[in-house]
Amino acid sequence: MGRFEIRARLHLAAVRAGIASVAALALVCALPLPAHADGASALGTQVVPGANAAIKYALHADATPSPGSGASSNAYPKIPAGAQAGLPVGFSYTADISAAHPFGDVGSYGKRWLPGGVDLVASYGFSPTVRVAASYYEVQHYPVGFDSGIVPLFIQGLAPPVGTVDLSTTNIDATTKDRFTIFNVSKLFRLGKLPIVVTPTYVSRNSTVGKGPQDIVAFWYKGFPRFGINTRTAQYDSLAITLPFLSTPKMFGTFTAAPTWLTHRNGLNQDNRAQIYQILYVEYNLDARTKFFYQPQSSRDYLPADVYPQHIASYFLGASERFGKNGFVQLVLNSGSPTNYRPYGVYGLHCLATPCSQNPVIPQIGGLKATQLQFQIGLGSPSVLPF
């Protein structure tokens, strides 16, 4: 037996030892994994509702009959008593807490209620046409494919894969909580009788993945491990434009387009051209307290681990119920995934050396696909509550 063959066999024995010890990778593979994309959009949940309220109030004012005319204003959704003909004037607020339950093939680790979130919005209207707002928004999710399924195991510099790993044995915690701080100014314009709201917006985003407390995690990209990158921290400038297309006694709908830019490039980002968010919103008002809504959207996430933006198709389907003077509860089913990042979840693990149990194991990540049911309960100013 030649020396080369002996070395080859010794190398294969080391590889087999590494594969046999994969069950001991729990500590290594439990490192927070960089989730790539959101099913939720901060613009859709924090900017569009304010614009919608302004447009409703403006349309209601246009439809209000003159005294003694005998005409009816029932052609528009019910507006709170005393509402301005445009954006709410003075101080207004909403605050809610939420929890979410993930759906889909998320494995045994993810099938539970996710850590609760908090949403806070404070705004001040200088007039029916100008309002400023500051928001804090949290969304939590568990991605498909992060602790379920069998993925190949690679050793750097050696191909093809040397074995497979059952991710359910590695105790991966990929629970992701994204936190958004949002500042915007809303301006109501009229093109003839058509009300339009323009909302310049600044969004700051940071996250924790797994047990946190941060989002700096290693990931595999184009044959090499990447270290030291805040995978889910970014800041954006956006210019949202919202206009109505539907208003009946029971229904209301708007469309929002929002060119959005990174404030600066991070990590693997290559360019910074405007990415266009598109948000369609339709609601059905069962009565003055209960409504159902559907919000499909096409958004662009550009995170530091992305060379190019992720094209995310998602939707929000929900029901909202008001109670008392200031309270509301809301159920929202939301789902989303990138259309240009495939496959989804973890699709490979890479050892930098053998045995794997003694060296870093770097995950190879595709797009994030997540579906969850979110429950919210909160309080707010009557003029800005869901209705």
Report pLDDT for 174. Answer: 83
C-alpha 314/C-alpha 278 separation (Å) is 11
Which tens digits make up the pLDDT trace of 30-88?
333 434 345 346 777 778 888 998 898 888 776 655 444 444 444 445 555 555 578 88
Report pLDDT for 164. Answer: 92
- In this prediction, residue 24 has a pLDDT band, given cuts at 50, 70 and 90, of very low
Which tens digits make up the pLDDT trace of 167-218?
888 877 888 889 999 999 999 999 988 999 999 999 999 998 877 788 888 8
- In this prediction, residue 7 has a pLDDT band, given cuts at 50, 70 and 90, of very low
Mean pLDDT over the full length of the chain: 81
Asked if residue 85 lies in contact with residue 195, where contact means CB atoms within 8 angstroms, the answer is: no
- The proportion of the chain whose per-residue pLDDT surpasses 90, expressed as a percent, equals 38
Which CATH superfamily groups domain 9-63+83-380? monomeric porin ompg (2.40.160.40)
Domain ranges of the chain: 9-63+83-380
Report pLDDT for 385. Answer: 65
C-alpha 379/C-alpha 122 separation (Å) is 12
- The proportion of the chain whose per-residue pLDDT surpasses 70, expressed as a percent, equals 82
* Mean pLDDT, residues 13-42: 41
Report pLDDT for 358. Answer: 67
**Conformation bin of residue 60: beta by default, left when phi > 0, alpha when psi is -120 to 50:** alpha
Which tens digits make up the pLDDT trace of 227-245?
888 888 999 999 999 999 9
Report pLDDT for 112. Answer: 79
Which tens digits make up the pLDDT trace of 32-43?
343 434 534 677
* Mean pLDDT, residues 294-311: 90
